Structure 1
Amino acid sequence: MRRLRITHLTEYRYSSPVTLGPHQLLLRPREGHDVHIESSRLDISPQPQIKWHRDMFDNSVAVAIFVDSSDRLSIESEVVIEHYEEAPLDFLVADYAVNYPFLYTPEERFDLLPYEQPVYPNDQPALREWVSGFGFGQGPIETYAMLDRMNRALAGGLTYIIREEPGVQSPDQTLASRRGSCRDYAALFIEACRHLGLASRFVSGYLHAPATEEGNAATHAWAEVYLPGPGWKGFDPTIGEVTGSRHIAVAVARHPETVPPVAGTFVGPRESPPPVLIVNVQVVAL
């Protein structure tokens, strides 16, 4: 078991007081047999009313509703978790899905269909060309081996960059530029899997690494693929690994752009400059 403390600060500094609209926060890790939340704290200034709910993907969502105007918005989350996923490769794929290509059962397909639909339909030619370079269509191949090859190919074939601007690059953009953020790597991997007929989804969360111990880090993103037998399995194409106890999932979604950690609105003077954004993430082993 691994104990981790995740501290996540998001701060907006405005040039003058603004009226803050509702803000949606996706900061609480997803709990299950592999992750247990030991303690959590959420400090927000100015103080809002907070309402919690679970969305359609079973993510824990906090909605902050503000009354007071302010020239600064500070959101700090601290969570201590126990992570039990110490052997991520210890799984068995169902017999009918050990080798690719395979078909999901009718029961699986009914629920998985949305995760098989492309988010970037215009990028299918570029994806087809990239996937064809692996020669997957030349005969049966072990499903996990195929996914592992694509995962490692992205980690080794693209240049990682930190992109401050919001949003996600399309797979076509990432393949053309050969560079991207973790969000872009994940979106490309997901769309490649969907192109191959495999249900896949986007995951937003945190990664424990030497850099995150020091702070001044950011959130992380990766992909999950539904494999009959083990279910949703995480693949991190930024580092070419199957996800384990270093990865802490916070939110999952079909579309890569729908689960930012903090999303909201404000109203201020028309000619005001954009707010200054400060983000600091620290993931520490305890």
Structure 2
Amino acid sequence: MRTEIRHITDYQYSEPAWDSHNEVRLYPEAGKRQITRSFHLHVNPEASITMHRDYFGSTVHHVHVHEHHTELRIEAQALVDTLPLQEPAPVPLSALDELRDEVNEFLVSSPRVPRGKWPEIFSVKVPAANDNLTAFLRDLTSQLHHQFTYQPGATSVSSTLSDFAQSGRGVCQDYTHAMLGICRTIGIPARYVSGYLYSGGEMVGADATHAWLEVLVPGNGWIGYDPTNDCLASEKHIKIGHGRDYSDVSPVRGTYYGGGNHPRMSVEVRVYT
């Protein structure tokens, strides 16, 4: 599938801002299932832009606006080809025993996915060593999808995983953090994925950057699961990058001087074929 992506982030300040430094993670990842054909980053007002790859391999653009400004627009445009995903082959949970030391960073707690009794909190039955790992992951994806209600605005970036468990309402980041916490507690390596979703009106989460997770499945590699939409991450999912949780792959973040109180930010995402 070939998709075109347009991602616009607008900031408006009540007073002039200056010396604005921003980290931008919007460049779609290149991998076995995905090819980035083109990418353009446009910034207004004029900015100096440099680029590097972070610890997890994501492309990061550093955008520095020197001059005084009351508006800042960061617009990313990309053309990406994605390939369909085959269903992962069955494998017992015990097959992970020899792999865990290699991916320990995706087993331990992280700022937004702290250590906790997450299987118990989310009423998940812990699988036995001989149980089918792929079947467990598919069932868990479905359970979380039906257990909670997708509701934009129900949570914010400051909401905790415990808040989501108690309220029963949230967005894709919350579903993903919940499944991460459950998997890591059981000893299943899992990582947070930030990206885009082409839904064609069939799925939720396509009106902004989307989140899902990838789980290390022995013999299959890292497989994506989307509990928000109760599905595997397939050719409709366009990956930007991964990390331990949302904090590692937030699309745009930065600092600036001035700007007054409470600057306004708006985000527009379009994904089309």
What TM-score do you get using the length of structure 1 for normalisation? 0.87
- Structure-2 change in CA distance of 1:191 and 1:165 (3 Å): closer
Summarize deviations over 1:66-111 as a string: whole Å, max 9, x none: 2111000001111011112x1331x335xxxx12244431xx3332
Summarize deviations over 1:152-207 as a string: whole Å, max 9, x none: 11111101121397526333221111111101110010010001101111011100
Pick one of 239, 242, 261 that aligns with 1:273: 261
CA distance in 2, matches of 1:122, 1:164: 21
Residue identity matched to 2:266:
I
Paired residues of 1:212 and 1:283 also in contact (CA < 8 A): no
- Counterpart of 1:26 in structure 2 is 25
- Structure-2 change in CA distance of 1:204 and 1:121 (3 Å): closer
Deviation at 1:211, TM superposition (A): 4.4
Summarize deviations over 1:227-250 as a string: whole Å, max 9, x none: 111111100110111101010110
Q: How does 1:1-286 map to 2 (within 5 A)?
A: 2-84=1-83, 86-89=84-87, 91-92=88-89, 98-105=91-98, 108-119=99-110, 124-125=116-117, 127-130=118-121, 133-137=123-127, 140-163=130-153, 167=157, 169-211=159-201, 217-268=207-258, 272-285=260-273
CA distance in 1, matches of 2:154, 2:265: 10
Deviation at 1:137, TM superposition (A): 4.4
User: Which runs of 5 or more residues in structure 1 are unaligned?
Assistant: none
Deviation at 1:15, TM superposition (A): 1.1
Paired residue secondary structure (1:124): coil
- Structure-2 change in CA distance of 1:18 and 1:212 (3 Å): farther
Paired residue secondary structure (2:39): strand
CA distance in 2, matches of 1:221, 1:87: 17
Paired residue secondary structure (1:233): strand
Residue identity matched to 2:145:
A
- Structure-2 change in CA distance of 1:43 and 1:164 (3 Å): farther
- Structure-2 change in CA distance of 1:23 and 1:245 (3 Å): same
Paired residues of 1:168 and 1:183 also in contact (CA < 8 A): no
CA distance in 2, matches of 1:62, 1:224: 24
Deviation at 1:42, TM superposition (A): 1.0
Paired residue secondary structure (2:105): helix
CA distance in 2, matches of 1:61, 1:153: 34
* Aligned residue pair count: 271
Deviation at 1:52, TM superposition (A): 0.8
- Structure-2 change in CA distance of 1:20 and 1:217 (3 Å): farther
Task: State the percentage of identical aligned residues.
Answer: 28
Paired residues of 2:195 and 2:239 also in contact (CA < 8 A): yes
CA distance in 2, matches of 1:36, 1:175: 36
What TM-score do you get using the length of structure 2 for normalisation? 0.91
Deviation at 1:65, TM superposition (A): 1.4
CA distance in 1, matches of 2:132, 2:185: 17
Residue identity matched to 1:167:
V
Deviation at 1:254, TM superposition (A): 1.1
Deviation at 1:275, TM superposition (A): 1.1
Residue identity matched to 1:225:
V
- Structure-2 change in CA distance of 1:231 and 1:145 (3 Å): same
CA distance in 1, matches of 2:13, 2:115: 38
CA distance in 2, matches of 1:169, 1:157: 18
Deviation at 1:10, TM superposition (A): 0.3
- Deviation larger for 157-166 or 238-247: 157-166
- Structure-2 change in CA distance of 1:61 and 1:263 (3 Å): same
Summarize deviations over 1:33-60 as a string: whole Å, max 9, x none: 2111112211101111111111110001
- Structure-2 change in CA distance of 1:164 and 1:124 (3 Å): closer
- Structure-2 change in CA distance of 1:113 and 1:141 (3 Å): same
